[in-house]
Amino acid sequence: MAKKKKAEEHENLERWLVSYSDFMTLLFATFVVLYALVQEDVDKFKYFVDSLRDAFDQTIMSGQDGINKDSSNSLLEGRDGATNPVMLEYVSQKYEQSSYESIENKINEMKEDGISASIDDRGLVIKFDKDAIKFAAASAEINPSSYTALNRVAQIIKEKFSIHYIEVAGHSDSDRMPPNGKYPSNWELSSARASSVVRFLIKNHNFNPRIFTAVGYADTVPVVPNATNENKAKNRRVEIIVLKNKNRNLVKKDMDTILKEAKAMQRIYKGEAANSPSDAMKQLIGNDKQLLENVIDMSGEYKNEVKRLNNLNDDSYVIDGQKPSFME
């Protein structure tokens, strides 16, 4: 019997479509990423670029630490290349949201003390009822019995946020102020109570004063109708709102200065000198403190000179009609 002839294998001429479809998918993903980058806050990107430039400028030579580990204005610098938490707080929406949720959970454990938290379009809203922050009638002076609750909440906020704008809002009931009193209306009273809380936070927890706004709403934003004494008591409250970064343009404050001050405060908190030498420089020089101080001083002069030279035009180097050899 004759052997059956083996059928010839059909060559697949369309295999290129697999590679082509992979390429198109990657190309699409690339343009999606580029579009997302275009939508980012231009100010955020500027800070990011400036920080990277500062970080790479402050080097002894390629592969070594900078002479002054804290001498640059980099907002991204951190130990072992880690992102500076201040910068993370500024640019990361994920960090902001996760921090909000963490604080919300901690605060809501204090509901029995008259303190609660929620997240809305403004940001993280922490409410203190009349028992959590106590004021005497028609007074803006905080009762010392409220200090414990305020201190605890301040510490929880400070762990996560140091540059977020914070609005402190005072709310009152609808009762009129007594005649000839210190505050002629609930507007002045609610504003003064908010200001008292701001002053307490700044004085006792070293918050940057620039991040705060104190506002008074009088009886215009009640949580319940001011129909009974019980309801009026619920409406007398103070709220601390940690505003979302997307709302910072509404505050009209100088974020650049806040960022720089936050970075300086970090160094002070860590006990680091603003111009301390890096470990690499200490190993290179040894224990000669005077030489270390000279290096620090000279590095500052070097930085200033580089800045000056960068601002000069080529013609500025011409002396007696000739350029120095290094300019040729």
Instruction: Dump pLDDT digits (tens) for 98-153.
Output: 999 999 999 999 999 999 999 999 999 999 999 999 999 899 999 999 999 999 99
Q: Is residue 54 part of a domain?
A: no
Residue 242 resides in a domain: yes
In a domain? residue 28: no
Whether residue 227 is contained in a domain is answered as yes
pLDDT for the residue 207: 92
What CATH number is associated with residue 224? 3.30.1330.60
Q: 14 or 175, which is more confident?
A: 175
CA dihedral 267, 268, 274, 277 (to 10 degrees): -70
- For 200-248, write each residue's pLDDT tens digit: 999 999 899 999 999 999 999 999 999 999 999 999 999 999 999 888 7
Least confident of 116-130, 157-171, 286-300: 286-300
Name 214's bridge partners.
Answer: 168
**Mean pLDDT, all residues of the chain:** 76
Asked if residue 121 is part of any domain, the answer here is: yes
Question: Does residue 149 belong to any structural domain of this protein?
Answer: yes
Provide the residue count of the chain. 328
Q: What's residue 305's pLDDT?
A: 57
pLDDT at 322 over 50: yes
142 within a domain of the structure (yes/no):
yes
pLDDT in tens, 260-285: 777 776 665 555 444 555 555 555 55
- The string over 12-48, giving b where at least 16 C-beta atoms fall within 10 Å of a residue's C-beta and e elsewhere, is eeeeeeeeeeeeeeeeeeeeeeeeeeeeeeeeeeebb
Q: What three-state secondary structure class fits 127?
A: strand
Residue 297 has pLDDT above 70, yes or no: no
Under a CB-based contact definition with an 8 Å cutoff, are residues 169 and 216 in contact?
A: yes
Query: What range defines the domain where residue 131 resides?
Result: 95-254
Q: Pinpoint the alpha helices (H) of 83-205.
A: 85-91, 93-108, 147-160, 186-205
Q: How far apart are CA 78 and CA 84, in angstroms?
A: 5
pLDDT in tens, 22-81: 888 888 888 877 776 665 555 565 665 565 555 544 443 334 444 344 444 444 444 444
Domain-embedded: residue 65: no
**CB burial of residue 269 (10 Å; 0-12, 13-18, 19+):** exposed
pLDDT value of position 220? 96
Domain count, the chain: 1
% of the chain residues with pLDDT over 70: 61
